[in-house]
Structures are given as structure tokens and as C-alpha cells.
Structure 1
Amino acid sequence: MDDSVQKIGIVGSGSWATAMIKMLGDNEAKKEVLWWIRKEEDLEYVRAYGHNPNYLSAVQLQVKDKNLFSAARSVIQGADIVVLNTPSAYLKDALKDVTAADFEGKVVVSAIKGIIPDDNLIVGEYLSKYYHIPLSQVVVVGGPCHAEEVSSEKLSYLTIAAKDSTNAELVAGLLRNRYINTIISADVFGVEYGAVLKNIYALAGGICHGLGYGDNFLAVLVSNAIREMHTCVNAIDPGVDRDINASAYLGDLLVTAYSQFSRNRTFGHMIGKGYTVQSAQLEMNMVAEGYYASACIQNIIQRYALEMPICNMVYQILYNRQPAAAEVRKLATKLT
């Protein structure tokens, strides 16, 4: 990367967006960070105190007052690199005033681990279809990495995937710091769909744990899940020489299925304990992407006629209101 100052726009103000602001602040490259914060009162709090009042609130954030915006379009227009970091279900609303021309010539980074509801498109596909952004300009940030561990500066790894390796290296260089290592990948679709699927599998693990199943069963569930993920991703994007045991796939699945910080596992655990979907959503302060992804992936399962019993189980419980205990018992007969 040359010595010019890169302007990086962050669209989103949740825990992962806040963690990314911290990563960028602790990186030594020349840059200027612009940040869209949805709620005006939260923006004013960050401006006054340098902390996000709702997410990772202990983290000191290094963003200049003049670079805090309540309009996403202002951030996108002013940035060289745009990082989209909202829950997938809220992306349309965040971009409602944004035009294709606002993205023109920019590197656009998806740090969203979900599918756009109703459209059933991953973020890269959605940007290409509605904003005419070439896939060569899209970069995907994958895991395994929890925002909470970033906030405490625990050594973590990000997978940066792009069809254009120059763009991947550019983004990796801006996020890499003393506690963040980066891995470069060319498998844009695999990394993005893998991130979607692992949330569903973590939710499945949480359901099973909530029902009283133990670590032995969860290990079998996860080993079946990675094979199911491989089947799905290869059907969607065949002919790619991907290692499903790499960090972006297996690693991200493991941390999401097992970690105390996993909101998808937590959501699933609540469902297993008997919460309704609505009551679990109300009690959680963060979005569980696996809930929305479960419905979207059903369309892909049907389109490609795939055998994906774990995803089917989660869908039956969440959307068809089937009893969790009975569905897990049926799934248990299919695991190997």
C-alpha cells in the first residue's frame, strides 16, 4: 500500500462495527475513519465520551468528531473503502438513501455474516444486483473472530476474501495489528456462505444444549455440520479448490458453536429451554443472524435439492413451530 491516506467508512454501530473501529484505531497505517451511527443520541454519546453506550462500552474509540455521521450516505460518499457492518436484516434500511453512483469506484467490504431477507442473497450478490458493484470490488471479512475478544485484545484471526487480491491485501493491511492476524482468500462465495451457515449450526447447537444434550452429542453435531456446509457451498459455487477445514469455515463454525460470546448459540439455547422465537428476540440485545439465515437457506436447499438435515431441523423449529425435543430426536437418527 502507498503512503496516501485511506478514508474508511464504517456503516453500522453494533458490537462488530465497534470492534472494527477499535481494530482500525490500533492499526499503524495512515487512514481516516468515518463512522455512521444510526441513533442520534448514540452519536452524541460517542462524540462526548469516546465510547459506544450500547456495545463494547468499555472500548475507547479513536474517531474524530467531524467524522461521526447520522447519514449513511455521507459516510459512503466520503470514503475510499466502505465497510458494511449492520445486521443483514437492517442493511436495506441503512442504504435506503444511497445510490449506485455513491459506491462507484470504491472498494466495498462486507463484514455482515448473513443473507438479505426476502432477496435470499448474500451481501456481495445483493450489492452487485441492486448497486451494480462489480464483484471484483467486493471484499468479504470472515472469522473466526468474536467482537468481545477483539475488545480485550485477545489474539484473533480474520479471513479477508476477494476476487482481486490487491483489494484483499489492502483491507487486510488496514485491519491487521498487534492482536489481529489476517488470512487472505480468493473464495469470496465460500467464505460468505460459510459465515451464513455456521450461524444456523451454532443455533442448532444451542437448541441441543438447551434441551440437555451434552458435549459428546454437540461434537457429533458439529462434525456433521461441517460436512453439510461443504455440500451446500460446493453446490452453490462448484469447481473451487477450497479446504473446508480452514479457519474461515471450520474455525468460524467451532467458535460460533461453542463460545460463550456466540449470540446464535445463546438464541438457540433459549429456544431449547422453551422460549418462543419472539420472547427470545425480545430478551436478546443483539441480532442472531442464524434466525434470518434459516429461512433463506431453505430456498437454496430446495433450489439445489440438497440433503441438509441440520438446517432443516432448525427451520422446522423456528418457522413451523415444531417441538424442539422431537425434532432433535429425529435429527439424532440421521447423524453419523
Structure 2
Amino acid sequence: MQENKKYRIAVIGSGSWATAMIKMLTDNSTEKELYWWVRKQADVAYINQYKHNPTYLSAVEIKLPAAHISTDVKHSVQHADIVILNTPAAYIKDALRGLTADDFKGKLVVSAIKGIIPQENLIVGDYITQTYAVPPEDLLVVGGPCHAEEVSQEKLSYLTFGCMDENNAAFVAGFFRNRYINTIVSKDATGIEYGAVLKNIYALAGGICHGMGYGDNFQAVLVSNAIREMSYFLHALDQEQRVIDASAYLGDLLVTAYSQFSRNRTFGTMIGKGYTVQSAQLEMNMVAEGYYASGCIQEIIARYNLNMPICNMVYQVLYNHKSAVTEVAHLAKNLN
């Protein structure tokens, strides 16, 4: 990367996590130019006039110059040196519609999406590499633990930037560090991304159990088993040596499993209380990535013939409509 260059960064997405990233970037002192793709023209007009996102994190002041907020994704991507993808995984294909490999050529592409693409059964990094010919060394992922709501309150938080090229990870991390954001760099982009997918499923499991009245003692055992299950899954995929109790894995799992801000835990709690999947989805205003991830991960589990009882419990309840009471009781007998 060139010194003394004013880099241009595009954020694709307008939900709570994308809005939090805009705040992090604008609160960082590094000179940069920001572009923000927002899906709805009405939201663009509102942000331009009132300097707040009307739907998500509405208390956060938007400092981005009005001219750089757009509903034209091609305009935002073409002007950027760094492209940050931050929509729900299920919507990323639609958000990037009309873009080609040429639009991403020579750019660093960052996935801040903690999900898996349902139609493709691919993590976002693999999809971007295959579809838009982005070299693996130019592809980054962002891991937590970091909830958008706490970022909006400027509570001390940590982000992990994973990339095959650690220099690129460190470079992008430099645009996010500020007085309330610390950054960590890792080479394990694939592990961080799959870990983020799995922790959403485990948060669903925790929510289901919470909704059914299981207490903190049981939840602690559940999460202890979940991190071991995550480690087992990641090792089966690539056999890389990784420290599974690092913040990007265990830390992100803990905050997603326990936090009041976790949409996946909230979704699971509703299921545990007797909501159907459809009614829970209608009541929530945000996407619970773990629901889509559960169906996709189950296909990978079957492909590798893996034994993952927590993921299996969630899948049976959400997709096969099995009794949560029966499935959790069966799971509880196999935890240790």
C-alpha cells in the first residue's frame, strides 16, 4: 500500500453492523474517503437530512459527507480501494447484482458478514473469491467479539481482522482502531469466518434452552461443549493449528451466546418459548444469521460425516420441526 495516499473505503450495507462500522471508521483519525451503499433511497434522503440511520442505531450521528451516500452499488465499489461487505449473507448476491470481477480488480475486499450464503452453501469469502476472482491474499474477514449496540455506546470492543496476508490485515485494521476499538490480526481467515457462522448456531441453541427455562449452570456446560464442537469442525475442514480460546473464536461465541444484544440468542429464545420459525422471523426486525447457517452447516456435517450434537439439535428443531423439549433433553444426556 502506498504511503501518504488518501484511501477510499466503501461500506456495502445499511443495517446496524454496517452503521456501527461507519461510526468506527469516522471516529478513526486516519485520513480516508468513505462511500456508503444504502439500499433504500428514502433512507439515503433521511441520512442526508438528519445524519442518522432511520432504522438501525438511530442514535448514532452519521458524519459521512452527503455526496458519498448512494443507492448505486457500482458507484460505491468502483470508487473504492477497500470494499467492506456488510449485508446479511442471504442478501449479498442481490446487493452485488450487476457487478463483475473487473469492479473488484485491484481492491481489498473485506467480509464483515457473519453468515453463510444459503443458495450457494458457501461462506462469503469463498463466494467472493469464486464469483469475482478476488485473490485470497486480498480477501479479509472481520471477527468479533463486537456488538453494534455497544459500539454505538463507545464501549471498549475488539475486532479481529483475518487474511492470508497479515500485512493486508494490519493495514485495514489501522482504519478501524480508535479510542474504543482495539484490533487483532490473524492469518486464519477461513477459521474465523466458519467460527462466526457456527457461533450463531450455538447462540440459537443457547436461546432455545433459555426459552425453555434452562439456567446458567446448563448454559455454561452447553457453551463449553460448543467451543469443543467448533474446534472439531474447523480441524476437520483444514487441520490448521489455531488457538480456539482466542477472542475471534471463544470470545465471539461467548458474547453471541450470552448478550442481550444477540439476535440469534433472541431468535432461539422465541423458539424455546414455542414460537414457530415463521412467527419468530416476522416478529424480529433483524436477520438471525444462525437460522440460514444451520441448514447449510448441516450439509457440510453430512458431507464430512461429523458428529456435532449441538448443531444437530438446532437443525432438528428449526428444519425438521422436532420437539425442542425432546431434542434438548436428548442433547443434555450427551453433554459433559
- Scaled by the length of structure 2, the TM-score of the pair is 0.99
Kindly indicate whether the alpha-carbon contact (under 8 Å) linking 1:42 and 1:52 is maintained by their aligned counterparts in 2. yes
| CA distance in 1: counterparts of 2:39 and 2:153, whole angstroms | 25
Cα offset for 1:237? 1.8
Paired with 2:138 and 2:109, the residues of 1 have a C-alpha distance of: 6
Partner of 1:249: 249
Residue equivalent to 2:103: 102
- 2:323 paired residue number: 323
CA deviations on 1:255-312 (whole Å, 9 max, x unpaired) are 0000000000000000000000010001001000000000000111011111000000
CA separation in 1, counterparts of 2:47 and 2:238?
A: 41
State the 4+ residue runs in structure 1 displaced beyond 2 angstroms. none
Equivalence map 1:175-186=2 (5 Å) = 175-186=176-187
AA in 2 matched with 1:199: N
Amino acid at match of 2:44: L
Secondary structure at the counterpart of residue 222 of structure 2: helix
Structure 2 counterpart SS, 1:174: coil
Which residue of structure 1 lines up, in the alignment, with residue 307 of structure 2? 307
**Identical-pair percentage:** 67
Partner of 2:267: 267
Shift of 1:25: 0.5
Partner of residue 120, structure 2: 119
Count of aligned positions: 335
Counterpart Cα distance in 2 of 1:214 and 1:36: 42
Q: Tell me if the contact between 1:141 and 1:158 (Cα under 8 Å) persists in the aligned partners.
A: yes
Task: Write the distance in 2 (CA, Å) between the matches of 1:270 and 1:71.
Answer: 36
Secondary structure (helix, strand or coil) at the match of 1:331 reads helix
Deviation at 1:19, TM superposition (A): 0.1
CA distance in 2, matches of 1:50, 1:167: 31
Q: CA deviation at 1:314?
A: 0.3
CA-atom RMSD in angstroms: 0.7
For 1:120-269, list aligned pairs within 5 A.
Answer: 120-238=121-239, 240-269=240-269
Structure-to-structure mapping, 1:44-59, within 5 angstroms: 44-59=45-60
Q: Which amino acid aligns with 1:145?
A: C
How far does residue 45 in structure 1 lie from its aligned partner after superposition? Answer: 0.3
Instruction: Tell me the CA shift for residue 162 of structure 1.
Output: 0.4
Aligned pairs for 1:55-74 within 5 A: 55-74=56-75
The one-character-per-residue Cα deviations of 1:57-103 (angstroms, maximum 9, x if unpaired) are 00001111110110111111110000000000000000111111100
How far the C-alpha of 1:218 sits from its partner, in A, is 0.4
Matched, 1:281 2:281: yes
Q: Which amino acid aligns with 1:268?
A: G
The one-letter code sitting in structure 2 at the alignment partner of 1:67 is H
User: How far does the alpha carbon of each residue in 1:35-62 deviate from its partner, in whole angstroms, 9 at most, with x for none?
Assistant: 0000110111001011000000000011
Amino acid aligned to 2:334: K
**Aligned AA (2:113):** I
Contact persistence 1:161–1:187 (CA under 8 A):
yes
**Within the alignment, does 1:293 sit opposite 2:282 as a pair?**
no
TM-score normalized with structure 1 length = 0.99
Aligned partner of residue 241 in structure 2, secondary structure: coil
Unaligned runs of 5+ in 1: none
The separation in 1 between residues aligned to 2:18 and 2:214, in whole angstroms, is 34
Shift of 1:127: 0.7
User: d(CA) in 1 for partners of 2:159 and 2:125?
Assistant: 18
- Counterpart Cα distance in 2 of 1:245 and 1:203: 20
Report the CA distance between 1:241 and its aligned residue: 1.9
Task: Name the CA distance, whole Å, in 2 between partners of 1:43 and 1:313.
Answer: 41
Find the aligned partners of 2:235 and 2:135 in 1 and give their Cα distance.
22
Structure 2 residues without counterparts, runs of 5 or longer: none
Q: Is the 8 A contact 1:189 1:237 kept in 2?
A: no
User: Matches of 1:3 and 1:197 in 2, distance apart?
Assistant: 40
CA distance in 1 between partners of 2:179 and 2:197 (Å): 28
Find the aligned partners of 2:199 and 2:272 in 1 and give their Cα distance: 18
